[in-house]
Structure formats: C-alpha cells, structure tokens
Structure 1
C-alpha cells in the first residue's frame, strides 16, 4: 500500500513515541490538527497502525519478574496454507507473545512468557510439541534484556563527558 509522505512521517513519529498528542504531531509535520487526526484514523482503519504499546522493565517491579523464552520451531507446512495454519494455532495460546516465519534452520520463532521456567517447559512439552505439524523445538531462555524495540534497558545515568583539566 502506497502511503503519502505525511502518513509515513506520522508512522515514524508514532513508532518512536506513541504518547505524543495529535497537536504535537500536527506541528511536527506541518498540518492542522484535524488533518492529522484524519490521517491517523485512516492508518488505524487500514490496520497499518495495529496497536499502541508501552515498554515496561518488569524486572524492576517486585513479583513480576517472570521468564521469557524464544523457541525455534521446525514444522511441516500444510499443502495450500503453508505455514499460516500452524502459526495461527501457535499464536492463539495465551502464553505466546510473538510468532515469526524465519529463514534458516528453523521455520518459526516463537516468544513466550511464563512465571517460571517450569511454566515454559510445560508449555513446550504439553502444548507446542504436541501439535501435529511440529517436528522439533529448541528453547532459549532470555537471561537479561539489554535493548528491546529500540529502547535500552538499565542505561545508567553516569556523566560520560570527557574530563578537561587545565
């Protein structure tokens, strides 16, 4: 779908900070508030803007640490639907946060969240690996998050300026 220059600008602005007001965005792209609201509404209706989300560092919140795992899944695609049908079956599980079709040794990359490693193990052994098309899985646990969706975690507030002395 071909977008106008202003629509593309709006998408780039919202991708960096979806909390900006329509008034601020309108000033940034040199349009009226009404024109900006219309463009944003059109982008939402076309499902180009799918959602507005917040990045949270859960490890800083007591009782919400949890475990995140990335699972490489090798599957047998079905005739006529390819990988889409099995991907849909997988992303419908509540634990699943994302599913991607990948190139390389594995077909799908699945990201899931659970409260414990045991929750992740239960999901893989009882839900994921029992699906007909799933041939094999490899689970990787995320030990520390440094950067996610362009946002850096645990960036300290040290003064990194060079010390200049006479």
Structure 2
C-alpha cells in the first residue's frame, strides 16, 4: 500500500489522528506524514474534514431525508448542470448521480418535516428537468460513514422463546 493510501485510510478511520499517531502506524516520520497530507489537500483528494454527529444525542435534532430524483435532459442541459443547480442549496447535504430506477440521490436536512417538504416542493420539484421526486424521511440512523451509533445495549425488544 502506498504512503498516500495508508494516510488516507488512517484519516478515514479518524481525521483527528496527529502526524505523530500516523507516523507510528506507518513507515513514515511525522514530517513526511504532514507532507503527504499537504499534497493530498493541494491535489483536492482531501476535500475537507467533518465531524460525524449523532443528532439523537442533541436537544435540537435535525430532520433528514433521502430524496430520489428523476430527470429528463434536453439538448442544452446535462446531469452536471442539474447537479450544480441543486448543490447550491444549503439544505442539500449530499447529491449523487446514481444508476438504477432514478437519476439522483439527494440528502436533505432541515429543522422540521414541513421545512424539508416545503424545500422539496418549492425549490427542487419546480426545476424544469426534474420529472419526479420521492422523499424518504430518515427515522433512525444506526451507522454513518463507518461509525456505529449507540452502544448496542438499547435493544428493548422482548425475547421470544419457543
């Protein structure tokens, strides 16, 4: 595995590892680790760093929805054009062109279900190329970006014995 791949794997595991922590886990010294990270950032490979938040643990829990979008393209409009337009909205947390039964998979966050619904109906659905939206509200998150939430001891289902 290359030093770039090793550093990326470690950063995906924990972006708060220090250069010293990563040097201990690789064959690099801390200065080399910092150089590799700086190169990855300059090349745009590392686009940013974010905390993974378990909103259930906060008083002001956010409403999240996954939205399927179908589009019909015309001669002047590409998928990239539609993506650029949608990605500008602050409510849009994630947007991907996907294969399958729909074209885009969009993640949306808001303070309430009505706020998310209003955003979809007033800002997304009116985009001329969007022909259909299907909104799925996230009821519970168990794992985000490789991080499992909770300690697993909250299973309150009753045991059934034959």
What is the Cα deviation at residue 35 of structure 1?
A: 1.3
For 1:79, what is the secondary structure of its paired residue?
coil
2:19 is matched with 22
- Correspondences of 1:12-91 after superposition (within 5 Å): 12-62=9-59, 64-79=60-75, 82-91=78-87
What is the Cα deviation at residue 146 of structure 1?
A: 0.9
What is the Cα deviation at residue 157 of structure 1?
A: 5.6
Unaligned stretches of 5+ in structure 2? 155-162
Q: Would you say how many aligned residue pairs link Structure 1 and Structure 2?
A: 154
4+ residue runs over 4 A deviation = none
Cα RMSD (Å) of the superposition? 1.5
Please give the TM-score of this superposition, normalised by the length of structure 2: 0.90
1:134 is aligned to 2:130: yes
Write the distance in 2 (CA, Å) between the matches of 1:133 and 1:81.
8
Please give the TM-score of this superposition, normalised by the length of structure 1: 0.88
- Correspondences of 1:74-153 after superposition (within 5 Å): 74-79=70-75, 82-153=78-149
Write the distance in 2 (CA, Å) between the matches of 1:65 and 1:116.
9
1:5 is matched with 2
Write the distance in 2 (CA, Å) between the matches of 1:152 and 1:140.
21
